Structure 1
Amino acid sequence: MTRSIRSSKIIKGNTIKATVMYVAVLALMTTAVVGCNRGIKPVVNDPVKLVQIAQPISVLQPVFNVDVGNKKASRKDPLSLQVGYDKTQMVTASRGGDLAGFDKAGQRLWSLNVGEQITGGVALDPLSQTAIVSTRSGKVLAFDSATGAKRWQQQLSGSVLTPALITNNRVILSANNGFLHGLSLQTGQSVWQFATQVPAISIRGAAAPTLLDDKTALLATADGRLHAITTDSGLPQWSRRIGVGTGSSEVERMSDVDGMPIVDSNQLFAISYSGQLIGIDLASRQVMFVNELASLKALAVNNQQVIATSLDGKVVAYDRSNGQTLWESEALAYRDLTNPVMIGNYIAVGDLDGVVHLFNPATGNIVSRVETKGALTNLQVQGSRLMTQSTSGQVAIWQLAR
């Protein structure tokens, strides 16, 4: 299977630029070490051109659009910021450190700058009206989501690249040095820490912590494992390897699980960079299937399917009970796809040009598109609304058409 990464994916100590074939990366790294074969060039795959939809339908209607700014952002930094959103408010963050609160109608309520680059996106807790962000230096900051008033600040030993998980009076964050932190939601004080193994080389990125059940958090790590940990005290419950890298070099053996695992109807689904998509029955703890597909993005599920976007731009739907391939689309090959999400009865996927593509889950055909400005790295869904934030700082919200 060919693995390709388009746009900058930073490996600790190394940078892979443009659309570089995995094998070519190894060749170039080997060349740099031994000093020979300087003429080797990486194989570049151009993004496929979009084909016009024959009979497009209206799926999404624009609701809100704002430029939250992107000053001080590095083009070499593959940060994927996300919006904090609930039924009454929204909090946005820019890589330059700007934080802003909006009401349901899109009216700006407050804005501020935290003084350094925001790396973790926004986590929003509607019950306590708390917005959590983290910075490049490892600071975790809590604000009143209605007024922007600062509540507390905590310093971690490593930076956080994903939004926090807020649950059961805990703020749970996964730092890039392998530590999972559990902080008090009220004070920010450290309640517990959980250390994981950090490989010598990994993709610079992380999966956001998620809930396994009401008392247990699920953490995916750079060494290809899933860890189940109690949210109140950080005690480990179980651990399972998902990603299995093969090869003679550390680069070949990279097995990061950077896409947030999905837990739905007592089933767990996860996917790794090294090419394993796994489905687990949580009641029996038995593996339902393992398929070969490589991705750094979270999966999506509906009643019958689990949907994935691969490193080389395939969109694939599997039967969630047995892993059988239901359909596969290469219509967006090498277009740096986001995670897929379910919005209504459709599958939405974003790309490097700011286009959101809507798929019919029964056929795998693209039936509609909407556009924003800048490359998309992540899609979010809240009820009947789809949210995007581009690398250029454009935040957009769409509503399902009636």
Structure 2
Amino acid sequence: MRLCKYLLIGLPGLMLVILCSACSLFKNPEDTVKIVLLHTIKNRCIPKIIWTTSVNNDSSNLYSNLHLSCYDGMVYTANSFGIVKALYATNGKEKWKIDLSKKIGIFSKHVSALLSGGITANGNYIYIGSERAQIYALNNKDGSIAWQKSISGEVLSRPIVSNNLVLLHTSNGMVQALDQKNGAIKWSVSIGTPAVMSFRSETAPSSALGGVIVSNDKGRISAISIQQGQLIWQQQLSQMLLDGSSDIEYLRNIDTTPVILKDIVYVLAGNGKLVALDLHSGQIRWEREMHGVRNLLIDEQRIYLINDNYQINALHINNGLSLWNQNHLPHHKLTSPVLFNGYLVVCDNQGCLYWIKRSNGQYIAQQCILNTSFQTAPIVLSDKLFIQSQNGTVYAIRFQKY
């Protein structure tokens, strides 16, 4: 399975079998987790699907971390096979479409491009990487390839654009900066080799004040000078392995993108801590016990996160103390939250979207779509919410208050 990097490890005298929840198949009824559905919510606003379209998803239905991108009135979507589309945000009509899969052999068989991580739109280009260690820059007017570059490893997270550079965190523990216009590699920095046992994901970098902040699956966070590509500081957030111990201890580490607000970096460490660090020095300002499994969302007062029981938590931004906890969706695998029209919005693997008050965690609206599963967070453009389901359908949703 692609979610688990390894399932079997040879140990002296022992064969250890690791079962990842996303890779396991339950055969006995008593082994099946019962999904508890939320009681019907009395909607205080009216969610409405205004258009849908398909990205022509391949039939493999493999787990994908691909997500949408919005820019200048357009929605950009892709699937792992290699289809990339530009859609008008107003009505979902297709502006252009390109197929990045390859034709090989005398019968011109298509081979998947294995696109992954997500799309980033910036300026005249959109950027997307692949598990084949390729990064593409497409012209946003017609989808033609402006440049394509081979890089040091798989691109499992979305590219970040800052200071005219495209920043990538690859699966082999490298951070690379490419020229935004032509793909020339400006610098490469190793932030540590990945754990032998790890989930197939890497965090996207964050950038602020001329620096790049990135964490890895061994609980280390690094700050890199964006212009020179020099390491400024590193902080080990998870407990170091003892001599002779196994990388299996790192399975608890969760890949989440650091969030930078003013001069503070907020990050979830793999040892079950939410940590706030000084942006300039990397020194820890405060830390709180909190296992998180999704990217953080931060506003002017609160930190919102999804914990390992898929509960929604709101914490005080200054010290991480709990403000409220919403636990009415046990075993629903929730996406990262987003802000939309003043509310939190999360989606789940049952095909439902939930609108939540930021002040107290109260649900105000619920919308469920049949035969659908959401794995990546929605995005917001103006008065619309856009989300792509696992089967490649894109939904545009608008809502109004009663």
Normalised TM-score (structure 2): 0.84
Letter in 2 for 1:71: D
Q: Does 1:151 align with 2:146?
A: yes
Q: Which runs of 4+ in 1 moved over 6 A?
A: none
Cα separation, 1, equivalents of 2:176 and 2:56: 29
Q: Contact 1:95–1:119 at 8 Å: present in 2 too?
A: yes
Q: Does 1:171 align with 2:170?
A: no
**SS of 1:271 mapped into structure 2:** strand
Cα separation, 1, equivalents of 2:3 and 2:172: 15
Aligned length: 372
Q: Does 1:45 align with 2:45?
A: no
Q: Does 1:93 align with 2:78?
A: yes
Structure 1 unmatched ranges of 5 or more = 1-7, 16-26, 32-39
User: C-alpha displacement at 1:328, in angstroms?
Assistant: 1.1
Structure 2 unmatched ranges of 5 or more = 9-14, 20-27, 102-112
Deviations 1:296-353 (A, max 9, x none): 3101112221011012211111111111111112111111111112223211111001
Cα separation, 2, equivalents of 1:188 and 1:42: 53
User: C-alpha displacement at 1:264, in angstroms?
Assistant: 2.0
Cα separation, 2, equivalents of 1:315 and 1:210: 23
Cα separation, 1, equivalents of 2:391 and 2:51: 16
Match in the other structure for 2:25: none
Matches within 5 A, 1:203-352: 203-213=199-209, 215-244=210-239, 249-254=246-251, 256-282=253-279, 287-352=284-349
Q: Contact 1:301–1:307 at 8 Å: present in 2 too?
A: yes
Q: Contact 1:162–1:174 at 8 Å: present in 2 too?
A: yes
Q: Contact 2:49–2:396 at 8 Å: present in 1 too?
A: yes
Match in the other structure for 2:351: 354
Cα separation, 2, equivalents of 1:9 and 1:312: 23
Deviations 1:361-395 (A, max 9, x none): 22212111234452212223345443211211122
C-alpha distance 331-246 of structure 1, shift in aligned 2 (>3 A): farther
Q: Note the aligned Cα RMSD (angstroms).
A: 2.9
Matches within 5 A, 1:50-69: 50-53=38-41, 55-58=42-45, 60-69=47-56
C-alpha distance 313-193 of structure 1, shift in aligned 2 (>3 A): same
Matches within 5 A, 1:117-132: 117-125=114-122, 127=123, 129-132=124-127
User: C-alpha displacement at 1:193, in angstroms?
Assistant: 0.7
Cα separation, 2, equivalents of 1:398 and 1:212: 32
Q: Report the more deviating stretch, 370-379 or 314-323.
A: 370-379
Deviations 1:114-157 (A, max 9, x none): 012211321111x2x10111122111111101111111111123
Cα separation, 1, equivalents of 2:395 and 2:282: 39
Q: Does 1:381 align with 2:380?
A: yes
Letter in 2 for 1:192: W
Q: Contact 2:324–2:361 at 8 Å: present in 1 too?
A: yes
User: C-alpha displacement at 1:401, in angstroms?
Assistant: 2.8
User: C-alpha displacement at 1:279, in angstroms?
Assistant: 2.4
Deviations 1:207-245 (A, max 9, x none): 1112233x2121121111211112233211222223347
Cα separation, 1, equivalents of 2:381 and 2:362: 24
Letter in 2 for 1:279: A
Q: Contact 1:72–1:96 at 8 Å: present in 2 too?
A: no
Letter in 2 for 1:14: L
Paired-residue identity, %: 21
